[in-house]
Structure 1
Amino acid sequence: MFAESPEDPNQARDTAAVLLNPVWKARFGSDEAWELEMSPYARIDARDKAARYVDLRVASLEFRERSQMFRVGFDNVFWGVAESNHLVDIINQVDPRADVELEAKLGQPMVSYTRFLDSYGRVEVFWLPYFRPRPGIGEKGRQRLEVIPESQQTHGLGRLLRSDDWAVRWSGQIASADVGLYFFKGVGREPDFSRSTEGDYHATRQLGMTLQLPQGSMLWKLEALRRSGQGRTFNAYVAGGEYTIARPSGDLGLLLEWSQDFRDGSAPPSRFARSLFGGVRYRVSESGDGEILFGVLHDLRHNTRSYKVEFSRRLSDHVKLGLVARKFVAPADSPFAALRRDANVQMTLSWSF
């Protein structure tokens, strides 16, 4: 439900959608060394035809033996550790139809190999034979930043373009810190709309790292990258942490993060060019796993602010309620001005079996 009429008169005032995203896992074989995981995703939107689609978020077969693991199929890989900005994630294409904050990801066809090195962490190698262009939101869809021609709208699993991308990552502990380091070579996941409304994609190389360092009640976090191929080579990072105040009734977390993106006009604009994020998270100590988060993200370069309140609680062993409220504040000359009338409240009720 949206609080205001849309910025674009072609957009719908309100909308509703039905989502299906079951997760199924099965182990078999001697010592249950084989695992099959399936997580299809289907969405039917009442207004936006482009948001009526199906996807395979995960459809993979895994084999694990002693210190090594093989995995093949559609998969989702998350490396981010920060709260406001997961800038190091590059394996999967984002799905703006499912989440305006670009947290939802399309399933990525891949073959991966993991080698566990005991006390030296683990090494992962990924071969990504196909690339998936970013799907667009249709004319009637809300919370969109660019208009995608109808010919570019993808339905079903969308387009799979041959690319032969690859990545390698090491993760482990250095002293008391959890560290991850990786290198990616392939097609960049961010589309460039500077020359075409259909979006261009560039061959990209990216070095990235993550770090989490616990110190008492404080958890320090860092994500950083260096990218070439998408305009001029640039660096970006998000750094901050969460301080937790533990109480018998629940835990109160105080979050503060700073994002800096040094790209210039030769690369697509970033929502985190020079941004400060502050938030408060409260987790209730009760069987329903209740949690509420309030956060504000202020992009100082574009003078844009985003407010968010999230609430979730398990109503039973199988039913979970989720509520998200968002509000965007942006001047008319901001690249994100299209979102300023898209304040909304979203409710989800999920059932697992």
Structure 2
Amino acid sequence: MKKLISLLAVVPCLVFAEVKYSGNAGVEQRYFLQEALYPQQERSNISAYFSPEVFTSFNNGSDSILFKGYFRIDQQDSERTHGDIREFKWTHSGEEWEVQAGIGKVFWGQVESLHLVDVINQTDAIEAVDGEDKLGQPMVSFSLFKDWGNTTIFALPYFRERTFSGVDGRFRGPIPVDTDNPIFESEDKEQNLDWAARWQRSIGDWEVGLSYFDGTSREPTFVVAPNVDGDISVRPLYPQMQQVGIDVLALLGGWIVKFEGVQRNVFEQDNSVLINGVPVTFEQQDYFAAVAGFEYSFVGLFDSVYDINLLMEYQYDDRKELATSVAQNDLMVGTRFVLNDVDGTEILMGVVQDLDYSNVRSGFIEASSRLNDHWKWRVDAWFFSSDEPMEPSHLIRRDDFAQFSLEYYF
């Protein structure tokens, strides 16, 4: 009865609150520059997405509700046709504190090429090859805002599995990942209670963040074993992980210095897992990884309105050849062009070179501009070169592509 009375007390506030609707939708045409490695894959693909947003506030602005949805339909890959609630959360704010509950998105990090400390949300890997898109994460958080810094504690009661391309999709290995049969180290599987905390403070020209995470790793490893039909299956394995992270950004004149570093303690397995009667032994190791670099700005180049930024970042992972990512000893060099026009035109391009193998590298181009108040175009392109079978990028060596997007904002 008390809960009903409390709910009835809130309803009038919601009824008379102003509701704001916004969002965007778009069509994407993607073309792959090389023939596919596998016969199910096509060179051309078109898809469309819709991302609505609803926001309302009440209780004199102390409370708010935010919803962000996402749905994509893809011409080729049935796994890429999917929907997700990116955010659906309630926020209550006090003078020096804030509480949030629901499904949310949280970003930690400072560098351009690789976000090591960003571990709250799972990667929506079927959306884009750069790993920037994230799935919504069920969470409850409490934030405290003080002169000595901002501190947030997160409780994460449910785990989201990573998405992967299907048999008709690109950016995959010879055997698609069996997302229907994941393996978890935790006995609670998806319902393992993860938690995290982050402290952040601006000190003069410096921004410093310290973070901690304890729970199911968002980055899976893989177990290869026969399935019930006797065929070989690739199953994602999600171990438990503890991570201590630091991220730093410094504004020093025309220089922006960036750093992210993590120490991950991924629990080792001292037993064998039986998969369809076949013992599969796997090991994990503790490791340190970091990304460090700078961005230098040439403002008003040659007395023009254009700005050019030069970027350089070094990626390190002490697992070396055992690293699950391509960023174990790599150097990224890039350029950002900002035209400072009314359409907000920007162009970012760069190359990531593996320092262990001279023939392993990737390149990217990102460009966008507004056509008017509602329409925007975007061009994205990625290029891969890898002749080393031990490198993860070898699996996508023929997946060079260019993509044109036309987006509508409302």
Give the TM-score normalised by the residue count of structure 2: 0.81
Structure 2 CA distance, aligned partners of 1:94 and 1:44? Answer: 18
Alignment match, 1:236: 289
**Is the partner of 1:50 in helix, strand or coil?**
coil
**What pairs up with 1:84-99 in 2 under 5 angstroms?**
84-99=113-128
**Is the partner of 2:79 in helix, strand or coil?**
helix
Instruction: Please tell me whether the aligned partners of residues 188 and 201 of structure 1 are also in contact (alpha carbons under 8 angstroms).
Output: yes
**What pairs up with 1:276-291 in 2 under 5 angstroms?**
276-291=331-346
Structure 2 CA distance, aligned partners of 1:268 and 1:192? Answer: 10
Instruction: Please tell me whether the aligned partners of residues 310 and 325 of structure 1 are also in contact (alpha carbons under 8 angstroms).
Output: yes
For 2:248, the aligned partner's letter is L
Of 226, 229, 246 in structure 2, the residue corresponding to residue 209 of structure 1 is 246
**Is the partner of 2:291 in helix, strand or coil?**
strand
Structure 1 CA distance, aligned partners of 2:103 and 2:376? Answer: 26
**Is the partner of 2:333 in helix, strand or coil?**
strand
Instruction: Please tell me whether the aligned partners of residues 136 and 152 of structure 1 are also in contact (alpha carbons under 8 angstroms).
Output: no
Instruction: Please tell me whether the aligned partners of residues 193 and 268 of structure 1 are also in contact (alpha carbons under 8 angstroms).
Output: no
For 1:232, the aligned partner's letter is Q
Instruction: Please tell me whether the aligned partners of residues 103 and 138 of structure 2 are also in contact (alpha carbons under 8 angstroms).
Output: yes
For 1:93, the aligned partner's letter is Q
For 2:58, the aligned partner's letter is F
> Are residues 1:25 and 2:82 paired?
no
5+ residue gaps, structure 2, are 1-30, 183-188, 226-233, 268-283
Of 129, 137, 160 in structure 1, the residue corresponding to residue 157 of structure 2 is 129
Structure 2 CA distance, aligned partners of 1:60 and 1:280? Answer: 37
Instruction: Please tell me whether the aligned partners of residues 249 and 285 of structure 1 are also in contact (alpha carbons under 8 angstroms).
Output: yes
Structure 1 or 2, whichever has the larger Rg, is: 2
Instruction: Please tell me whether the aligned partners of residues 199 and 209 of structure 2 are also in contact (alpha carbons under 8 angstroms).
Output: yes
Q: Deviations over 1:300-323 (max 9, x none)?
A: 235521111110101112221111
Alignment match, 1:252: 308
Count of equivalent residues? 344
Structure 1 CA distance, aligned partners of 2:134 and 2:180? Answer: 22
Shift of 1:152: 5.1
Shifted more, 191-200 versus 77-86: the winner is 191-200
Structure 2 CA distance, aligned partners of 1:316 and 1:251? Answer: 22
Structure 2 CA distance, aligned partners of 1:147 and 1:336? Answer: 16
Instruction: Please tell me whether the aligned partners of residues 315 and 331 of structure 2 are also in contact (alpha carbons under 8 angstroms).
Output: yes
Shift of 1:28: 2.0
**What pairs up with 1:144-293 in 2 under 5 angstroms?**
144-145=172-173, 147-149=176-178, 151=180, 161-195=190-224, 197-229=234-266, 231-247=284-300, 248-263=304-319, 269-293=324-348
Structure 1 CA distance, aligned partners of 2:308 and 2:350? Answer: 14
For 2:40, the aligned partner's letter is N
For 2:142, the aligned partner's letter is Y
> Are residues 1:314 and 2:370 paired?
yes
Q: Deviations over 1:263-313 (max 9, x none)?
A: 256x65221010100001011111111100111011223552111111010
Shift of 1:332: 4.7
Shift of 1:250: 2.0
Aligned-residue CA RMSD (Å): 1.7
Shift of 1:185: 0.2
Structure 1 CA distance, aligned partners of 2:213 and 2:343? Answer: 40
> Are residues 1:50 and 2:87 paired?
no
Of 272, 279, 301 in structure 1, the residue corresponding to residue 356 of structure 2 is 301
Q: Deviations over 1:186-232 (max 9, x none)?
A: 00111111455111111100000100011100000000000011522
**Is the partner of 1:322 in helix, strand or coil?**
strand
Q: Deviations over 1:166-189 (max 9, x none)?
A: 001100023421000011000011
Structure 1 CA distance, aligned partners of 2:167 and 2:179? Answer: 8
Structure 1 CA distance, aligned partners of 2:240 and 2:87? Answer: 25
**Is the partner of 1:232 in helix, strand or coil?**
coil
Structure 1 CA distance, aligned partners of 2:103 and 2:200? Answer: 22
Shift of 1:57: 0.9
**Is the partner of 1:22 in helix, strand or coil?**
strand
5+ residue gaps, structure 1, are 154-159
